[in-house]
Structure 1
Amino acid sequence: MITILLFLGVVIFIIYSYRNYMKQFEDIDKLPGPSTLKLIKDLYFNSSSKGIIDYFQSLNSIYGPVVKVWMKPFKPMIITNDMEYCNKIFKANDHHISPVLHEMTFMGDGIASTVDYHTWKNDKGVMVKAITKSYINSKLDIYNQKYDDLINAIRSNLGKPVDVEKYLHKILLEVILETIQHKGINITQREKKDYITSRNDFFVLLLQKMNSFSCMGVLHWFTNNYRKIWKRHSEVVAFGTDWLEKFNKLDVKERDPTNLVYAMMEGGIPDNRIVDNINTIIQGGHDTSIVPLSMALRELAHNPEIQNKIYEEIKNVMGTDINAEIDIEHLNNMPYLHATAKESLRRFMSMPFLDRLILRDMLIDGTKIPKGIRVMFHLVGIMTSEKNYDDPLTFKPERFLKENVTAKSQKSFFGFGYGPKLCPGKPIAYAAMKLILVKIIREFEVLPAEHDVQLVSELFFRSLTGIPSIFRKRNIEQT
């Protein structure tokens, strides 16, 4: 009898605890979204599903601007492209944790993925102070040399499709590595190759984890995927650790104080966080520009009037010498070029989502959102919404010219994050994007390539079929 009573007591306690647990999500449950059964069917038993990220992207168009994703009894999640949520959560100081970036474990306690507010604030301050106009100008020569790989490929294939995405994938990684690099420190081609392989394998495994029912929660610990991910994680971290060790061994008298790694050392950032920040910088500087730049050239090919405006601006600022040195002042005096780079990020955002963890109870549009809820912001949905931009699917750099820009379009632009979480590498990223556009447009006309670009949404967008354009030598009138 006592055993039965104890059993009933345990059952009643579990039911009571579960009901209380569920009660805190009552308001979220009222939001539209797929049922638990539909989620399981769509994500894990639908052979036509392209994957969890692509599926999440479709939900706002089906259910509206604020959608719940709740596979009960697990904790619910919200997916939104609603600006009210952006203003109160994404832009707020007190919701600084991004779980999706924390999934990139090799970035550890780096500036993008750390869960500690003071760590983030300190490290960002050190980087912002280091990435000055003179620092950027000193690195443009490295970018210029590396971009010549693409320029030479174009020269060798005039009139033929050149897969810009493929070239940028390699070139931009080399550029980022060289930007951090220091004279007297050697990284072998073998080390670079092994690092690239480990990093690429990590993302393949991470996507497998995200798309697998067997990898949910603690179940992941018992899978082969878990062991493989942490092996690749260790290899990526080891690359940064070995590289930092080479920095530490360099004689103090030979060190360049403007180098970003030494700036972090001087800023008191401990070695483990410097390694995490190195991997964060490489990740942020590499994957975020490939698709926007490749698709921007494709848009210029289909919109020669935009291309001509950029060329006229280049001529006015620099003349017609295709070998003229390009510095930061040149780039900063080309507002239409800058608007084009910004429009490419808006129209072809490299990441489908960024998220925030709610760190305090909130009330938004009458919905109570308890602490601990994850809110995913559909960046593509936000930046291609008619609520935020006129004619949003049209590539229109003019919308970002000073005389045309609106408060609404500025506040809904998330190309580099926003506000307190704004990427500290934004100035150098813009400079790098504008530099390659100048090098191409001043020497070549970009023409359309008859090609079906098939973009897929993974952690970052990529094309299954490449992103080619055709180039021909520009007829330049010498002045």
Structure 2
Amino acid sequence: MITIILLLGIVILIIYSYRNYVKQFEDIDKLPGPSTLKFIKDLYFTRSSPGIVNYFQSLNAIYGPVVKVWMKPFKPMIITNDMEYCNNIYKANDHHISPTLIEITFAGEGIATNIDYEIGRKDKNILEKAITKSYINSKLNIYDKKYDELINAIRSNLGMPVDVEKYLHNILLEVIIATIQHKGIEITKQELQNFVKSRNDFFELLMEKLNSISCVGVLHLFTNNYRKIWKKHNEIVRFVANLLKKFHNLNIKERDSKNLVYAMIDGGMPDSRIVDNINTIIQGGHDTSVVPLSMALREMAKRPEIQDKIYEEIKKVIGTNINAEINIDHLNNMPYLHSTVKEAVRRFFPIPFLDRLILRDMVINDTKIPKGIRVMFHLPGIMTSEKNYDNPLTFKPERFLKENVTAQAQKSFVGFGYGTKSCPGKLIAYAAMKLFLVKVIREFEVLPAEHDVELISGLFYQSITGIPSIFRKRNVQVI
């Protein structure tokens, strides 16, 4: 009898505790969204399930700009493309990317994921001071040579489809690594190939984790996926750690203090955070540019007047010689080119979601959001919303020209983050993307390719069918 009473008491205590636990989320529970059973059924037991990222993206279209996803007994989560949430949470400095997404990622304590505001601010300040106009300019000739791989492929295949995405995937990774590279420090081709493979494998495994119910919560610790993903994580970190050792081993007399890595070393940043920040720079600079640039060329093919306007700027600022050197001042003096790059990032933003873990109780639009809730921001949804942009699905660089841009369009452009969590390397990204377009447009006209581009979203957008364009030689001079 005593045993039965004790068991009954434990059951009552569990029920009471659970009711109190659930009660703190009663405001969130009022938000629209799928039920627990529907969520589990749609995502894990439907043969045609689109996968977790695509599923999450569909929810705002079904339920509205603010959606709750609650797989009880776990905490609820909010998915939103609402600017009120964006302004109060995403743009705030006192919330950070949640452990759910960084628990096994190689960004560690880098500037994008560091939960300590002061450390993150200090590290970002070191990077921003190092990424000067002259530093970017010193790297442009290296970028120029890297892009020649694609330029030569275009020259060899005039009138034929060239899969720009395929080339850029490898080229842009080398471009970003070149940003931190230093004379006298060698990265072998094999080392780079191994690094690329480890990264690709890591993201495939991470998506496998996110799409498997057997990997939910603590269950993941007991899966083969967990062991594999940590192995790839360690390979990625080891590559960067070994690269950092090469910087440390370089004779002090040969060191360029203006180099990005040496700026972090001289700034007193510990090696572990330097490794995390290098990985953050590589990650942020690579995957954010491939799809926007590839798709921008296809949009220019459909609207030749866009490439014509860029070409007019090129002729005015640089001239028509396709071998003329391009510097940072040239790129900064082409406003229509800049607007085109910004529009490419807005229209084809390559990251479906970024999140924030709420670190204090908040009230937004009369909804109480307790500390500890994760809010997923559907960034492409924010930047393609009719509330924020006129004809948002139309590729229209003119919208970002100084004389046209609206305050709402500026506030809604979150392509490079915001505040302390904003990307300190955005000037590098802009310069690298603009240089690429200049090299292509000054030598070639871009023509439409009859091809269905099928973009799928994992942690980043990519095409499973490639993103080809067709090119025709311009009538230009070579000196």
TM-score bracket, shorter-length normalisation: over 0.9
Q: Which residue of the partner structure matches residue 337 of structure 1? A: 337
Q: Which residue of the partner structure matches residue 298 of structure 1? A: 298
Q: Which residue of the partner structure matches residue 442 of structure 1? A: 442
Q: Which residue of the partner structure matches residue 58 of structure 1? A: 58
Q: Partners in 2 of 1:207 and 1:101 — Cα distance?
A: 11
- Whether the 8 Å contact between 2:323 and 2:478 is mirrored in structure 1 is no
**Residues 413-450 of structure 1 deviation map (CA, whole Å, 9 limit, x = unaligned):** 01101233210000010000000000000000000000
- Whether the 8 Å contact between 2:142 and 2:178 is mirrored in structure 1 is yes
Q: Which residue of the partner structure matches residue 88 of structure 1? A: 88
Report the Cα offset of residue 38 of structure 1. Answer: 0.5
Q: Partners in 2 of 1:452 and 1:391 — Cα distance?
A: 22
Q: Which residue of the partner structure matches residue 21 of structure 2? A: 21
The farther-off stretch of 103-112 and 314-323 is 103-112
Q: Secondary structure at the match of 1:21?
A: helix
Q: Partners in 1 of 2:76 and 2:51 — Cα distance?
A: 19
**Residues 317-361 of structure 1 deviation map (CA, whole Å, 9 limit, x = unaligned):** 111111110000000000000000000000000101111011000
The aligned runs of 1:31-430 (5 Å cut-off) are 31-99=31-99, 101-103=101-103, 105-430=105-430
Report the Cα offset of residue 98 of structure 1. Answer: 4.3
The farther-off stretch of 403-412 and 172-181 is 172-181
Q: Partners in 2 of 1:290 and 1:279 — Cα distance?
A: 17
What amino acid does structure 1 have at the position aligned with 2:47?
S
Q: Partners in 2 of 1:186 and 1:93 — Cα distance?
A: 38
What amino acid does structure 2 have at the position aligned with 1:223?
T
Report the Cα offset of residue 49 of structure 1. Answer: 1.2
Report the Cα offset of residue 4 of structure 1. Answer: 2.0
**Residues 5-35 of structure 1 deviation map (CA, whole Å, 9 limit, x = unaligned):** 2212211111111000000000000000000
- Whether the 8 Å contact between 1:205 and 1:228 is mirrored in structure 2 is yes
Q: Secondary structure at the match of 1:257?
A: coil
Q: Partners in 1 of 2:152 and 2:478 — Cα distance?
A: 22
Report the Cα offset of residue 304 of structure 1. Answer: 0.3
- Whether the 8 Å contact between 1:185 and 1:247 is mirrored in structure 2 is yes
Q: Partners in 2 of 1:275 and 1:90 — Cα distance?
A: 25
**Residues 27-58 of structure 1 deviation map (CA, whole Å, 9 limit, x = unaligned):** 00000000011001111011111210000000
Query: TM-score scaled to structure 2, two decimals?
Result: 0.98
Pair 334,352 (structure 1): closer, same or farther in 2 beyond 3 Å: same
The aligned runs of 1:460-475 (5 Å cut-off) are 460-475=460-475
Pair 141,103 (structure 1): closer, same or farther in 2 beyond 3 Å: farther
Q: Partners in 2 of 1:104 and 1:122 — Cα distance?
A: 24
Q: Partners in 2 of 1:322 and 1:56 — Cα distance?
A: 45
**Residues 138-182 of structure 1 deviation map (CA, whole Å, 9 limit, x = unaligned):** 111111110111111110100000000000001011111122111
**Residues 109-163 of structure 1 deviation map (CA, whole Å, 9 limit, x = unaligned):** 1111222222211111110110000111011111111011111111010000000
- Whether the 8 Å contact between 1:362 and 1:368 is mirrored in structure 2 is yes
Q: Partners in 2 of 1:376 and 1:478 — Cα distance?
A: 51
- Whether the 8 Å contact between 2:161 and 2:469 is mirrored in structure 1 is yes
Q: Secondary structure at the match of 2:48?
A: coil
Q: Partners in 2 of 1:90 and 1:237 — Cα distance?
A: 28
- Whether the 8 Å contact between 1:100 and 1:355 is mirrored in structure 2 is no
Long gaps (5+) in structure 1: none
Q: Partners in 1 of 2:103 and 2:299 — Cα distance?
A: 33
Long gaps (5+) in structure 2: none
- Whether the 8 Å contact between 1:298 and 1:469 is mirrored in structure 2 is yes
Provide the alpha-carbon RMSD of the alignment: 1.2
What amino acid does structure 2 have at the position aligned with 1:440?
V
Pair 395,99 (structure 1): closer, same or farther in 2 beyond 3 Å: farther
Q: Partners in 2 of 1:194 and 1:376 — Cα distance?
A: 32
Q: Secondary structure at the match of 2:355?
A: strand
Pair 290,478 (structure 1): closer, same or farther in 2 beyond 3 Å: closer
Q: Partners in 1 of 2:33 and 2:263 — Cα distance?
A: 47
Q: Partners in 1 of 2:431 and 2:79 — Cα distance?
A: 32
Q: Partners in 2 of 1:286 and 1:252 — Cα distance?
A: 30
Q: Partners in 2 of 1:194 and 1:319 — Cα distance?
A: 41
**Residues 190-227 of structure 1 deviation map (CA, whole Å, 9 limit, x = unaligned):** 11111111111000000000000000000000000000
Q: Secondary structure at the match of 1:456?
A: strand
What amino acid does structure 2 have at the position aligned with 1:195?
F
Query: TM-score scaled to structure 1, two decimals?
Result: 0.98
Q: Secondary structure at the match of 2:287?
A: helix
Report the Cα offset of residue 107 of structure 1. Answer: 1.4
Q: Secondary structure at the match of 1:107?
A: coil
The farther-off stretch of 172-181 and 104-113 is 104-113
- Whether the 8 Å contact between 2:322 and 2:477 is mirrored in structure 1 is no
Q: Partners in 1 of 2:193 and 2:309 — Cα distance?
A: 40
- Whether the 8 Å contact between 1:107 and 1:279 is mirrored in structure 2 is yes
- Whether the 8 Å contact between 2:97 and 2:354 is mirrored in structure 1 is no
What amino acid does structure 2 have at the position aligned with 1:54?
N
Report the Cα offset of residue 60 of structure 1. Answer: 0.3
What amino acid does structure 2 have at the position aligned with 1:224?
N
Report the Cα offset of residue 476 of structure 1. Answer: 3.1
Q: Partners in 2 of 1:204 and 1:226 — Cα distance?
A: 12
- Whether the 8 Å contact between 2:180 and 2:260 is mirrored in structure 1 is yes
Q: Partners in 1 of 2:297 and 2:231 — Cα distance?
A: 38
Report the Cα offset of residue 100 of structure 1. Answer: 6.0
